[in-house]
């Protein structure tokens, strides 16, 4: 069949800072999904979008075309409200793991469709696959049954849900176009709107370890996504949160699961607990439960009970030993003083290079690889004291990981102000 448009003409429009028509956008997404547009052509278009942007109408139409590329889910038969959370990705961001079961404690269903690692940021599915037996791929029927029974599910989006995004997401990862605000917003919101959740809370990261390095860009992304959600009838709110420093004390797969279980057991690092509770409050309020007390449900074991049922329902053994890296190397403090900075990007790149992430979409990840932190900004340290431990099964990876964290820790004679974890709220 003859095609309505020529791919090169469409690339040229964005290259020359023009505006794509609704018909051009619909055709582009459909043609790429069908394989008419080649990866190298879509990569060129993605780069033109990254450099020259899209207007509100273009982003909205691009998102609608991505949704139209597949099926839409419907949770109305569950008979309970649904709420979901999406994070734009960070270093040590294991919040989904304790958050989904925590919100489900209160009778709100959490259909959490999650992704793989993207560049230096970890993927929720990669983390959970460190649990022996756990599986990410569920059919829609299995997902519905688990939501009805357990109340929470964390799984991969089915092939039928925004298939255009699946292809685009993998391509962006390997062509340095992850940071394009129109592409991030449409990628996230096409999946979340197609997923059919009633309300959505966005955790938009800002700082060195996030895709958005400054607050203005993060606010623009948050506002774009909140607008897309509202336009589609999904009650959407966003928190801007700090990703200058890794979240918690771990960046990897198995070690982040371990830390999440500590949080569910009523302990864990204070920043992970703070953000989990803040996002749970937003999700519960959006689902009509503004007076729920998620902090209490973490402390008394109710969230842990749901976690165990959720992991078991997907074939995982919540009591199984988690994989441990075969090799480790410790990096120590160079001086006495106060740790004032710990660069999240550096730690994320180190974890990625150690094997916790992937450089190409077909790469496997190591379950045990990553970085374990022994100090956070504000802590007093002594020269020679361990700052972080690098973990991998392949010791030849240590050298490049050590290069990544060189200069990541800043030690000063006295403390400087620690930035707040939650920077702003956008609704």
- How, if at all, do strands 386-392 and 327-332 pair? antiparallel
What is the Cα–Cα distance from 383 to 17, expressed in whole angstroms?
Answer: 53
Region at 346 (left for phi over 0; alpha for psi -120 to 50; beta for the rest)? alpha
Percent of the chain with pLDDT over 70: 99
Say whether 2 is catalytic. no
Say whether 187 is catalytic. yes
Q: Are 245 and 345 in contact (CB under 8 A)?
A: no
Say whether 165 is catalytic. yes
pTM of this structure: 0.91
Residue 400 located in a structural domain: yes
Tokens at 254, concatenated: 């198995």
Residue 165 located in a structural domain: no
Does residue 230 sit in the same domain as residue 150? yes
Residue 425 located in a structural domain: no
Where residue 169 falls among pLDDT bands split at 50, 70, 90? Answer: confident
pLDDT over threshold 80, residue 275: yes
- At residue 418, the pLDDT reads 78
Does residue 213 sit in the same domain as residue 100? yes
What is the Cα–Cα distance from 113 to 124, expressed in whole angstroms?
Answer: 9
Report how many domains make up the chain.
2
Looking at residue 354, the DSSP 8-state letter turns out to be I
Does residue 332 sit in the same domain as residue 220? no
- Answer with the one of 313, 339, 362 that is the final residue of a domain: 313
Q: What CATH number has the domain bearing residue 308? A: 3.40.1030.10
The Cβ of residue 412 has, within 10 Å, a number of other Cβ atoms equal to 12
For residue range 183-237, what is the model confidence (pLDDT) as tens digits?
999 999 998 999 899 999 999 999 999 988 999 999 999 999 999 998 888 999 9
Residue 401 located in a structural domain: yes
Where residue 1 falls among pLDDT bands split at 50, 70, 90? Answer: low
For residue range 326-379, what is the model confidence (pLDDT) as tens digits?
999 999 999 999 999 999 999 999 999 999 988 776 788 999 999 999 999 999
Does residue 222 sit in the same domain as residue 91? yes
Does residue 278 sit in the same domain as residue 384? no
- Answer with the one of 267, 287, 313 that is the final residue of a domain: 313
pLDDT over threshold 80, residue 119: no
pLDDT over threshold 70, residue 118: no
Does residue 289 sit in the same domain as residue 351? no
Tokens at 190, concatenated: 């096409």
The residue ranking higher by pLDDT, 307 or 120, is 307
Q: Are 82 and 196 in contact (CB under 8 A)?
A: yes
CA distances from 216 to 120, 219, 316, 345 (A): 22, 5, 41, 19
Tell me the helix, strand and coil percentages in the chain, rounded to 5.
45, 15, 40
What is the Cα–Cα distance from 421 to 417, expressed in whole angstroms?
Answer: 12
Which position among 191, 192, 205, 219 bears the catalytic label? 191
Residues 6+ apart with CB under 8 A from 285: none
- At residue 316, the pLDDT reads 97
Strand, coil or helix: 204: strand
State the average pLDDT for the chain.
94
Q: Are 154 and 114 in contact (CB under 8 A)?
A: yes
The residue ranking higher by pLDDT, 162 or 341, is 341
Which position among 61, 85, 86, 116 bears the catalytic label? 86
What is the Cα–Cα distance from 260 to 92, expressed in whole angstroms?
Answer: 10
Which position among 93, 126, 165, 271 bears the catalytic label? 165
Which position among 87, 187, 190, 260 bears the catalytic label? 187
The Cβ of residue 241 has, within 10 Å, a number of other Cβ atoms equal to 28
Residue among 226, 71, 38 at smallest CA distance from 140: 71
Q: Give the sign of the dihedral formed by CA 107, CA 108, CA 114, CA 120.
A: negative
Which position among 120, 172, 219, 281 bears the catalytic label? 172
- Domain range for 103: 76-158+194-313
């Amino acid at each position: 069949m003859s095609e309505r448009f020529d791919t090169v003409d469409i690339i040229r429009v964005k290259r020359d800072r023009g505006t794509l028509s609704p018909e051009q956008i619909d055709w582009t997404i459909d043609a790429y999904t069908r394989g008419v547009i080649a990866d190298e052509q879509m990569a060129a278009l993605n780069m033109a979008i990254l450099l020259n942007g899209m207007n509100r109408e273009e982003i909205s139409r691009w998102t609608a075309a991505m949704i139209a590329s597949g099926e839409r889910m419907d949770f109305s038969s569950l008979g309970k409200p649904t709420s979901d959370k999406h994070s734009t990705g960070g270093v040590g961001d294991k919040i989904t793991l304790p958050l989904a079961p925590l919100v489900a404690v209160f009778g709100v269903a959490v259909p959490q469709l999650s992704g793989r690692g993207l560049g230096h940021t970890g993927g929720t599915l990669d983390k959970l696959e460190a649990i022996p037996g756990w599986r990410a791929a569920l059919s829609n029927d299995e997902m519905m049954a688990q939501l009805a029974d357990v109340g929470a599910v964390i799984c991969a989006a089915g092939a039928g849900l925004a298939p255009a995004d699946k292809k685009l997401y993998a391509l962006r990862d390997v062509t340095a176009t992850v940071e394009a605000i129109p592409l991030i917003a449409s990628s996230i919101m096409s999946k979340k709107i197609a997923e059919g959740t009633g309300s959505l809370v966005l955790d938009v990261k800002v700082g060195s370890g996030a895709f958005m390095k400054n607050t203005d860009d993060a606010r623009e992304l948050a506002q774009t996504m909140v607008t897309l959600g509202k336009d589609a009838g999904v009650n959407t709110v966003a928190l801007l949160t700090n990703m200058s420093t890794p979240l918690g004390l771990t960046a990897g797969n198995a070690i982040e699961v371990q830390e999440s279980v500590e949080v569910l057991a009523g302990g864990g690092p204070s920043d992970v607990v703070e953000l989990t509770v803040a996002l749970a409050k937003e999700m519960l309020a959006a689902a009509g439960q503004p007076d729920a007390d998620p902090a209490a449900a973490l402390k008394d074991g109710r969230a842990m009970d749901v976690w165990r049922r959720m992991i078991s329902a997907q074939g995982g053994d919540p009591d199984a030993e988690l994989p441990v890296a075969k090799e480790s190397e410790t990096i120590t403090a160079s001086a006495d003083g106060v740790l004032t900075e710990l660069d999240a990007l550096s730690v994320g790149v180190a974890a990625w290079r150690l094997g916790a992430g992937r450089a190409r979409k077909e790469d496997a990840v190591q379950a045990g690889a990553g970085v374990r932190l022994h100090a956070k900004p504000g802590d007093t340290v002594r020269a020679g004291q361990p700052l972080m431990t690098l973990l991998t099964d392949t010791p030849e990876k240590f050298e490049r990981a050590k290069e990544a964290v060189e200069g990541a820790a800043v030690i000063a004679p006295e403390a400087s102000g620690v930035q707040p974890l939650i920077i702003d709220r956008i609704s």
